[in-house]
Structure 1
Amino acid sequence: MFDARIRPLIDPPLNQMGQALAAAGISANAVTLFGFALGLVAALAIACGATLAGFFLIGLNRLADGLDGAIARASGKTDLGGYLDITLDFFFYGAIPLAFAMLDPANNALPAAALLCSFYANGSAFLAFAIMAERKQLTTDARGSKSLYYLGGLAEGAETIALFLLMALFPAWFPVLAWGFALVCFVSAAARVMIGVAALKD
């Protein structure tokens, strides 16, 4: 919901850093993979009870996620880069709820499962529409220059990262935060399906 609003604020500094990194010979794919590794370490830290370390590692993961796109814009986007970016993002989004479930299975397992189910619903509506949009040659830059069509929704990247950071800062709140955000994601998925149906009707 907030991704389109924050792009004009974060893109200029990210693009400057991306241009500098590209000029230094650092590839977008290398940053994508490094950021993913940070995300996995964040999940491991959370599962082991080091949630504050997880907080900072999640922040670094998201910084890398912004920088890889900025480097790609400076050096040239590739299909492989776009594929790695979206795929590893989804792996990361699944790893954090799983980490909280491992941290406290008795209290967190069920809300984590509900949250992951809602991510699955939201992500499938998003990715399926992106495939159809490509076939119909639909484009949008509302959420920045992307490798695929980003269909907006209530629950997008900014909201998800804010959620993960709150969970890492206040791990005891995980069940309430997970149930609440799962509901938002299910509503977002339903809205995306309705938007997709309306846009793809012949």
Structure 2
Amino acid sequence: MFGDNSSAAPAAWTLIQARTAAMGFEMPSEVDTGALLRLLAAAKPGGRLLELGTGTGLATAWLLSGLDASACLISVDVDPMVQGVARDALTDARVRFILADGLDYIRAQAPASFDLIFADAWPGKYEALDETLALLKRGGLYVIDDMLPQPNWPEGHQVRVDALVSRLEAHPDLVVTRLAWASGLIVAARR
């Protein structure tokens, strides 16, 4: 059926999805988000990509499926248990898993050092936004999801989402597109 991206899921995705469900992880990336990430990763040949919030690796698998042989992905998470699912399932030399606080990792990186950043955690999205955006190269892409109301949102979260969207759209160095796709995405390109 048109619009069904699950048939294009990477081989490791099914295993990761089963382990994610078994452990009761409630913040997985959706299939359609993954399909878009694969496309965007493919548009960055030889690129250096950053994923903030590995989770169990569902989005990581999609990003890897879009990378060419000379590209690399760094995936950062603070939770060893959930990231362990990704480490076990994704044995690919193009990915490096970092177990660290996202804020510490962001602050240790050189400006303009990434071609694509998928911020799927508070650090890089609701915390240290300007520092994260400074890591994008010219033409680099910044991607976030969960912009539409989600059942796991904390009380009052809509205000944070609205403020984030406003900040991104007002940023003079970004071209921003809102997508009512999957959980609600924003894709921004650095001018």
Name the TM tier (shorter chain). Answer: under 0.3
Q: TM-score, normalising length from structure 2?
A: 0.28
Structure with more relative contact order (C-alpha pairs < 8 Å, separation 6 or more): 1
Report which of the two has the higher share of helix: 1
Q: Which has the higher strand share?
A: 2
